[in-house]
Amino acid sequence: PKIEMLKIPKFRDLSSNWAREQIEKLYSLGILDDQSNFYSPNTPVERYDFAIAIGKAIDLRVLEDSKKKKTTKTIFKDVKHTTKDHNYLEAAVNKGVIKGTTPQTFEPDGFLTRQQAAATLVRALGLEGKAPDPNFKTKYRDDYKITDYARDSIYVATELGLMSGSDGYFNPKGTLTRAQSAAIIERFLRYLETDLKENYRDNILFFN
CB–CB of 71/45 below 8 Å?
Answer: no
Kindly tell me if the per-residue pLDDT of 203 is higher than 50. no
Other beta carbons within 10 Å of 62: 18
DSSP letter (8 states) at residue 108: T
Kindly tell me if the per-residue pLDDT of 104 is higher than 60. yes
Taking residues 32-50, what's their average pLDDT? 92
Q: What CA–CA distance (Å, rounded) separates 98 from 148?
A: 17
Q: How confident is the model at residue 2 (pLDDT cuts 50, 70, 90)?
A: low
Q: What CA–CA distance (Å, rounded) separates 201 from 189?
A: 18
Within 8 A by CB and 6+ apart from 198, the residues are none
CB–CB of 57/25 below 8 Å?
Answer: no
Average pLDDT value over all residues in the chain: 85
Rounded percentage of the chain residues whose pLDDT exceeds 90 = 65
Kindly tell me if the per-residue pLDDT of 59 is higher than 80. no
Q: How confident is the model at residue 78 (pLDDT cuts 50, 70, 90)?
A: very high
Q: What CA–CA distance (Å, rounded) separates 51 from 157?
A: 17
What integer pLDDT is reported at residue 1 of this predicted model? 59
Q: What CA–CA distance (Å, rounded) separates 67 from 83?
A: 15
Q: How confident is the model at residue 177 (pLDDT cuts 50, 70, 90)?
A: very high
Q: What CA–CA distance (Å, rounded) separates 44 from 126?
A: 26
Taking residues 128-145, what's their average pLDDT? 86
Rounded percentage of the chain residues whose pLDDT exceeds 70 = 82
Length in residues, the chain: 208
Using DSSP's 3-state secondary structure scheme, residue 153 falls into helix
Other beta carbons within 10 Å of 186: 20
Q: How confident is the model at residue 207 (pLDDT cuts 50, 70, 90)?
A: very low
